[in-house]
Structure 1
């Protein structure tokens, strides 16, 4: 029992303590050449973080960012799951489209920022596009891998019972690959959360990325560091929820 508690709580706390220690040493070294570096130290950051989370302004930025994450992820799921099923079920489509998909997948989503703003204008639309573009590939590839791993006898049985193509997809394929889709969603959330902040630094007036720029312009460096820590905590919680959903599905499936 003690060993399990140490593994689940003790070791992570030790890792965090080591990280904070290295953080403090790094700031101390930075102060020698840049006195303003003291504002990035752990203690001022914790004090600024406490003020942030007890205020109301930061939560407006958080809610807007989470809304953009939800919309971008939803678009990626709506696009990526059908594409993944089609890639796995049609050799002709896979042969024609996969080279293009692999090429696009290797293009950084942030490189599309100038074109997205030029075509879609400023505001939420280009951010939604960038997030969906970043998230669609892991969802599509995991969906295709899930379909490829399905037992062919399931599909043969469905066809022998005169199931239509839509019935095969919605009643056989999608339930059978839900775990793979959830894995893709978890990977997509991690990518979206990384792309979100720089995407919000262009053309929007609220959100965590905008807040980072605002703290820089106000020279509120402790607040800036606190916002970075908050972004990390929120990203960890999103990943935890995605892992919990995946584990819950596997438990129900068993």
Structure 2
């Protein structure tokens, strides 16, 4: 037992050490890139890791940054919720009927291959500027991994459980609640994790659609103010927040499994 605990601790320590080494290598590549490819000396210094980290510390002491973070996270939550409300029921329905899957797969694959950002001009013309077009674009981007993973989860359900449910005269609602939903939950969470990664990538350009708050808006603001070290600090902050969201999604997936 003691050896097993020691082995687990050693494995965990090695995992963290390798992760920190990877981050250190990333910082080194960043510094080398600035040194090798920076053409303007004064401007290059503003993009350096040292200036960026100093600006990040300064930004984290300002209340307005947290307001922008809260707005962006709210948009992520709304977009993900809409994608779940559409993708999970539709995935359950499509996964249950072969003919429906055959009829919808070409259309869904066609729509899935269209970049959500290519819809931006159309959505702005139809909905105007503000939160509504952002919610639409985020939901459109996130619905596909959730939908497709839900369909895959239904397809991989053990038929014996469904037969047992029918033999016990369970209603459709009972079968859905007791058999199907628990069986596909892992696949849905995998879709959620993939959706969060896509949402975080799509969010920043979406927040350049004439809104007055959010991380994407703040990046444009730093560019207009020529505050380049703050701009790089926001890029790093966006990466940290995205990494945290993905870690939470991975943790939730492990807990469920």
Equivalent residues in 2 for 1:143-182, closer than 5 Å? 143-182=150-189
The alignment's C-alpha RMSD in Å is 1.3
SS at match of 1:206: coil
Runs of 4+ in 1 over 6 A off after TM superposition: none
| 2:88 corresponds to 1:81 | yes
Partner of residue 25, structure 2: 18
Say which of 242, 245, 248 aligns to 1:238: 245
> Which range is displaced more, 45-54 or 150-159?
150-159
Q: TM-score, normalised by structure 1?
A: 0.95
| 2:167 corresponds to 1:193 | no
> Which range is displaced more, 10-19 or 29-38?
29-38
Say which of 33, 39, 52 aligns to 1:45: 52
Partner of residue 137, structure 2: 130
SS at match of 1:96: helix
Q: Give a deviation string over 1:57-83, Cα, whole Å, max 9, x none.
A: 110000000000000000001100011
Partner of residue 102, structure 1: 109
Q: Give a deviation string over 1:99-120, Cα, whole Å, max 9, x none.
A: 1000000000001111111111
Distance in 2, matches of 1:75 and 1:106, equals 20
Distance in 2, matches of 1:40 and 1:122, equals 32
Distance in 2, matches of 1:163 and 1:204, equals 50
The CA deviation at 1:147 is 0.8
| 2:50 corresponds to 1:56 | no
The CA deviation at 1:187 is 0.6
Distance in 1, matches of 2:16 and 2:99, equals 51
Distance in 1, matches of 2:38 and 2:140, equals 40
The CA deviation at 1:172 is 1.2
5+ residue gaps, structure 1: none
Partner of residue 226, structure 1: 233
Aligned residues: 250
